[in-house]
Amino acid sequence: MKILVRSVRIMDKTSPLDGQVRDILIEEGRIAQIGESLTANEAQVVEADHWCVSPGWLDLRVASRDPGFEHKEDLDSVREAALRGGFTEIVLLPNSSPVVDAKDTLNYVRRPLGGPVRVHVTAAVTRKAEGTDFTEMIDLHRAGAVAFTDGENPIQNADILLKALLYLRPLNALLINRPEDRQLTLYGQMNEGVTSTLLGMKGMPALAEEMMLSRDLKLLAYALEQAVLPQDHSHSDTLPMLHVSLVSTARAVALIREAKAAGLPVSCDVAAHQLVFDDSALLGFDTNLKVNPPFRTPADREALRQGLADGTIDCLVSDHSPHDEECKNLEFDHADFGITGLETAFSLSLMHSGLPVEDIIEKLTSRPRRILRLPVANIIEGQPANLTFFAPDLAWRYEKTASLSKNTPFLGQNLTGKVMGVINDGHARWFV
Question: What residues act catalytically?
Answer: 319
Provide the 10 A C-beta neighbour count for residue 29. 16
Burial of 104 (0-12, 13-18, 19+ CB in 10 A): exposed
Residue 432, classed as helix, strand or coil, is coil
Residue 99: exposure state from Cβ atoms within 10 A (0-12, 13-18, ≥19): buried
Grouping H, G, I as helix, E, B as strand and the rest as coil, residue 421 is strand
CB 301 within 8 A of CB 275: yes
Q: What is the DSSP secondary structure assignment for residue 414, as one 8-state letter?
A: E
CB 50 within 8 A of CB 390: no
Indicate the burial class of 363 (C-beta count within 10 angstroms; 0-12, 13-18, 19 or more).
buried
Contact 372, 146 (CB under 8 A): yes
Q: How does DSSP classify residue 284?
A: G
Cα–Cα distance list, 324 to 59, 190, 321, 330, 400 (Å): 22, 20, 10, 11, 15
Helical ranges in 75-182 per DSSP H: 75-84, 103-110, 137-142, 158-168
Query: How far is 170 from 95, CA to CA, in rounded Å?
Result: 26
- The whole-angstrom separation of Cα 363 and Cα 102 is 31
Residue 407's nearest CA partner among 329, 331, 348 is 329
